[in-house]
Amino acid sequence: MHPDIHDAVQRALAEDIGAGDITTNLCVPAEATATGRMVAREPLIVAGVELLPLIFADCIVTITRRSGGRLENGAEIAVVRGPARSLLTGERTALNFVQRLSGIATLAAAYVRAVEGTGCRILDTRKTTPGLRRLEKMAAAAGGATNHRMGLYDAVLIKNNHITAAGCVRAALDRTRNAGVPVEIEVRTREELDEALACGATHLLLDNLSPAAAKEWVAHIHGRATVELSGGITPETARAYAETGADFLSSGAITHSARAVDINFRIEPD
């Protein structure tokens, strides 16, 4: 598992536990053991279960539903057996991660279902919780989305402010000729679109167009470059955008606006 994930879990545990779980340590005998069952309380796509062995490090963790699985209300996700104190101390951190990440996976899956059969793929974005990007992108992938760039270091994405700062579309593209990584450019007008195509752009981002306008632009591009559409696309509008002929739809909402789903962790003494 990536070091970023281990670090995120350790920081979350330290944030919650601090100098010690005083409630649990005062109320529960050190020798007591228990079993905890994590259960879905609504239909969802589960994600983040890989973190449970890290959170409950001194327990036996049995994962019954892998990330990416579609669960109905009442479905068991995992069983944790071990010291009762460990279960109680790790409970909230475990739920915070799995509820949040499953919410992202569930929303991603709604987008993916909306474009099914069109050939268009759903992309996530960098609009993630600081420090949790790798986890949130894992969750988006569990829901069927395709991960876009991980950060500013693994792909070029020339946005409108880059074009403004560079001077024009051509100037920005010319400076990325030998980047050695994928290059995508956002175009805001038909003039910029034609300039980008004339410069050999192979991946275009069209932002904040209506489905009708996007269809016209995609037809004008006519396969000369792959096309990504973005800007306020929802699961309800995704199909109309996918049917324009675009190759990708991207949505920041998958990570920045996903609702944490309802999951319960029931503890019973042995």
Beta bridge partners of 76: 39
| Closest of 74, 85, 1, 83 to residue 37, by C-alpha | 74
Structure-token pair, residue 113 = 């279902």
Residue 256 CB neighbours (<10 A): 15
**Residue 60 three-state SS:** strand
- Take residue 15 and report the two structure tokens written for it: 């944030």
Exposure pattern of 149-181 as b/e (b: 16+ CB <10 Å)? beeeeeebbbeeebbeebeebeebbeebeeeee
Tokens of residue 240, six digits: 């109309």
Of 9, 2, 231, 234, the C-alpha closest to 100 is: 9
**203: its two tokens:** 């991946």
Active-site positions read 92, 127, 159, 186, 207
